Amino acid sequence: MSVAYRSDEMMTVAAARMLRNGAVCFVGIGLPSTAANLARLTHAPDAVLIYESGPIGAKPAVLPLSIGDGNLAETADTVVSTPEIFRYWLQGGRIDVGFLGAAQLDRFANINTTVVGSYKNPKVRLPGAGGAPEISSSAKEVLIIVKQTNRTFVEKLDFVTSVGFLTGGDSRELAGLPGKGPAAVITDLCILRPHPVSRELEVTSIHPGVNREFISKNTGWDVRFADSCGETAVPDSVELQTLRDLKERTAAAHGVEGDAA
């Protein structure tokens, strides 16, 4: 028996499923934080959540609104300084999964969070890099969660803030980046994974109720579908209830939803 759910809930649940129990995860604020905490509250109770503000092993009962909320520090195994987070823990090679969002993304999962338009004379000035350039290069692998439209999934990025597979093929390995790069991009429509050789993102799983035409229409390049492309399992009642409870607790605590950023 299936329960009614929204497409953003499907996205968060599908992203949460990607985080394996016990993984050490460097968590971005917003959608990645929602998905990582849902994973921790369902199938991955031993996932270690690290936030760039300093908490290691954070177990927040409600979603943080900012990257440095007090409940992250209160529930962490330890809190270290921000330089230590980036130097010893990320650059030190101790992060299994970097969990990121994006404003724009291209077919090789390179990310733009800097500007729309030209850098000198931007149409929209976005917040900028934050921790993402080094997370995307140093984490052993990367998961990206982002809503899919032809404005976010673009043929060519206005600015490459953080790298995925650069120009595809073996260009990432040749550049000498320590981590393996994006393992999956999870959207409100589907899951995309890099092709093993070309490294171009291809749709490997379509969320129920979404069709190929709609995905193509919402992708700014001629998106490919993997031969093995299947259908994403619908959120089960535990996943859905846990997510809704988490969001309800968050709204009650902050007066706002936790993944607004």
Partner 1 sequence: MAEWVTLAEAIAANVHDGATVALEGFTHLIPFAAGHEIIRQQRRNLSLIRMTPDLIYDQLIGAGCAAKLTFSWGGNPGVGSLHRFRDAVENGWPGPLEIEERSHSDLANAYVAGAANLPFAVLRGYTGSDLPRVNNKIRSVTCPFTGEVLAATPSVRPDVTVIHAQKADWKGNVLLWGILGVQKEAALAAKRTIVTVEERVRELDAPPNACILPSWVVTAVCEVPRGATPSYAHGYYDRDNVFYRAWDQISRDRDCFDAWIKENILETTDFAGYLQATAQ
Residue 154 Cβ, how far from partner 1 at the closest point, in Å? 15
52 is catalytic: yes
Read off the DSSP letter of residue 23: -
Of residues 129-158, those binding partner 1 (CB under 8 A): 129-134, 137-138
105 touching partner 1, by CB under 8 A: no
Of residues 213-242, those binding partner 1 (CB under 8 A): none
The DSSP secondary structure of 92-139, one letter per residue, reads TT--SEEEE--SEE-TT--EE-SEEE-SSSEEEE----TTHHHHHHHS
Q: Which of 232, 234, 207, 201 is nearest to 219 (CA)?
A: 201
SS3 212: helix
Read off the DSSP letter of residue 153: B
Q: Which residues are bridge partners to 153 per DSSP? A: 105
The residue within the footprint of partner 1, chosen from 7, 24, 57, 68 (CB under 8 A), is 68
Tokens encoding 223? 């998106």
Question: Closer to partner 1 at the Cβ: 7 or 91?
Answer: 91
Catalytic annotation, pick one of 52, 134, 200, 202: 52
57 touching partner 1, by CB under 8 A: no
Q: What amino acid positions are annotated as catalytic residues?
A: 52
Q: Which spans of this chain sit near partner 1 (rule: CB under 8 A)?
A: 29, 52-55, 65-70, 72-73, 79-83, 85-87, 90-91, 110, 114, 119, 122-125, 127-134, 137-138, 159-163, 166, 172, 175-178, 254-256, 258, 260-261
